[in-house]
Structure 1
Amino acid sequence: MQAVVLAAGKGTRLRPLTDDKPKVLVEVDGTPLIEDVFDNLIDAGATELVVVVGYKAEQVIDRYGDAYRDVPITYAHQREQLGLAHAILQAEPHVDGDFMLMLGDNVFRGNLVDVVDRQREDRADAAFLVEEVPRQEASRYGVLDTNEYGEVVEVVEKPDDPPSNLVMTGFYTFTPAIFHACHLVQPSDRGEYELPDAIDLLIQSGRTIDAVRLDGWRIDVGYPKDREEAGERLAERVTVDGSDADDAVDDAEEPVDG
């Protein structure tokens, strides 16, 4: 399955770190954000990386060239940063079939493969990795509601009054139907073409969208404090189930009775 990485943003909230580099090349625990994204996607089964670049794009292209870990890279250019739905459309000419999508500024340690498996097994039109956050933080994200079957029935982008505390994490799988929906999206009050609006169009047209709960952790690196927190989590070597990797090793070394 191909994977699309959205990596065109300027990262203005991370200044001065992004004055001379794109946001996705800001390092967390010694590794550029986008490199951590690449590793996650390849480990989840990505066979090709389609990277949507914009701000200081040449730095990303010069650094990674046409392959990463022997997985080919194709670049698409978003000349103006007009929202996630607009960014996705820049990748459309390079995508053939179902694909993964990850935001280039997220650090994940979790069950991405479960989302890919759900897409393949259920033939959903989309599957999202979602998590519960404190309600006061939900307004930073795309907030969603699900029905009793775990299907997404509504998505609201950065609402002032969130309808729930269940949010999208920045990892998705889609069929090509998402491109048609993105073409139909109108600019929001922020003047951007919003991905949640495209998702709502899928829902309204009767498409099936599954939600998979995050088993692990992720941090959206939007501010310097997020970068610091992500670095601390990685340095702690936290495992997917939330326990410390060093503790897990110690437990494994304890003798077994009998």
Structure 2
Amino acid sequence: MKAVVLAAGKGTRLRPLTDDKPKGMVEVNDKPILTHCFEQLAELGVEEFIVVVGYKKEVIISHYGDSFDGIPITYSHQREQNGLAHALLTVEEHIDDDFILMLGDNIFQANLGDVVRRQREERADAAFLVEEVPWEEASRYGVCNTNPYGEITDVVEKPEDPPSNLVMTGFYTFTPAIFHACHLVQPSDRGEYEISDAVNLLIQSGRTIDVLRLKGWRVDVGYPEDREKAERLLRDEADVETTEDVEQISVEQSSAE
């Protein structure tokens, strides 16, 4: 499976961290956000990265070159940042089968593999992770409307008055059907071609959509305080792993004695 990583954004809300680099190259725990994304995707067995670049693309290309940890990288250029559906269309020529889509400004420690397995097992046209966020943060994301059975009926992109606090997290799997939907998307009130509108078209056309709740955590690194939160969570996780390793060594030594 190929993985498309969207990394063309300017990250204006992260300035001055993004004055000389794209958003995906902002470091979290001494590693660019994109490195965290690549590592997580590599654990899923991804065979190729297709990275959509734009703002200061040369920083990304010079840093990673043509591969990451032996996995080849293909770059696609989004000349104008006109929304995620627009960005996705720049990679259409490179995709001929099911693929992963990941936003290159998120750090996950979550059940990403469950999404890939579910889409494969159910032969769904799309599968993605959702999570409940504080109501005051919901307007930052694609917000999901649900029916009484808990099924998602549509997604509203960055609404001023969110209808719920259940949001898309930025990790999806799709069949190539998503490209046809992206071609049909019209500019939103924000003047962008929204991925949420493409998902809505899939829903309206009767395509099979699987939705999984996030288990674990995710941080959308949109503001400097988000970067600090991600670093804190990663440090806490590393401390837990170190403690578990020490305890395991102690058990093994006791057994040997």
TM-score (norm 1): 0.92
Give yes or no for the alignment of 1:63 onto 2:66.
no
Q: List aligned pairs for 1:45-84, cutoff 5 A.
A: 45-84=45-84
Give yes or no for the alignment of 1:119 onto 2:115.
no
Cα deviations by residue, 1:84-140 (Å, 9 ceiling, x for unpaired): 000000011111200000000001101100000011000011000111112222111
Give yes or no for the alignment of 1:212 onto 2:202.
no
Cα deviations by residue, 1:158-202 (Å, 9 ceiling, x for unpaired): 112222211111100000011000011110111100110111111
Aligned residue in 2 for 1:11 = 11
Whole-angstrom CA distance in 2 between matches of 1:111 and 1:167: 16
SS, match of residue 73 in structure 2: strand
SS, match of residue 39 in structure 2: helix
One-letter amino acid of the structure 2 residue matched with residue 200 of structure 1: N
Give yes or no for the alignment of 1:167 onto 2:167.
yes
Structure 2 gap segments, 5+ residues each:
none
Whole-angstrom CA distance in 1 between matches of 2:147 and 2:72: 38
Whole-angstrom CA distance in 1 between matches of 2:248 and 2:152: 39
One-letter amino acid of the structure 2 residue matched with residue 152 of structure 1: I
Cα deviation, residue 145, structure 1: 3.1
Whole-angstrom CA distance in 1 between matches of 2:186 and 2:36: 32
- CA shift in 2, pair 1:247/1:214, >3 Å: farther
Cα deviation, residue 144, structure 1: 1.0
Aligned residue in 1 for 2:158 = 158
Give yes or no for the alignment of 1:37 onto 2:32.
no
One-letter amino acid of the structure 2 residue matched with residue 245 of structure 1: E
Whole-angstrom CA distance in 2 between matches of 1:28 and 1:100: 23
The alignment's C-alpha RMSD in Å is 1.8
Whole-angstrom CA distance in 2 between matches of 1:2 and 1:146: 30
- CA shift in 2, pair 1:162/1:250, >3 Å: farther
Cα deviation, residue 212, structure 1: 0.9
SS, match of residue 51 in structure 1: strand
Whole-angstrom CA distance in 2 between matches of 1:46 and 1:150: 31
Whole-angstrom CA distance in 2 between matches of 1:187 and 1:68: 34
SS, match of residue 9 in structure 2: coil
One-letter amino acid of the structure 1 residue matched with residue 236 of structure 2: E
Cα deviations by residue, 1:16-50 (Å, 9 ceiling, x for unpaired): 11111111111001000001101111111211100
Structure 1 gap segments, 5+ residues each:
none
SS, match of residue 139 in structure 1: helix
Which has the higher mean CA deviation after the structures are superposed, 27-36 or 160-169? Answer: 160-169
One-letter amino acid of the structure 2 residue matched with residue 184 of structure 1: L
Structure ranking higher in helix proportion: 2
Aligned residue in 1 for 2:92 = 92
The answer to whether the 8 Å contact 1:151/1:209 transfers is no
One-letter amino acid of the structure 2 residue matched with residue 211 of structure 1: V
Whole-angstrom CA distance in 1 between matches of 2:109 and 2:186: 34
Aligned residue in 1 for 2:202 = 202
- CA shift in 2, pair 1:7/1:86, >3 Å: same
Which has the higher mean CA deviation after the structures are superposed, 143-152 or 6-15? Answer: 143-152
SS, match of residue 75 in structure 1: strand
The answer to whether the 8 Å contact 1:182/1:198 transfers is yes
Aligned residues: 252
Whole-angstrom CA distance in 2 between matches of 1:245 and 1:216: 15
SS, match of residue 193 in structure 1: coil
One-letter amino acid of the structure 2 residue matched with residue 178 of structure 1: I
Identity level (%): 66
The answer to whether the 8 Å contact 1:144/1:168 transfers is yes
Cα deviation, residue 59, structure 1: 1.2
SS, match of residue 17 in structure 1: coil
Aligned residue in 1 for 2:241 = 245
Cα deviation, residue 251, structure 1: 6.1
Give yes or no for the alignment of 1:181 onto 2:181.
yes
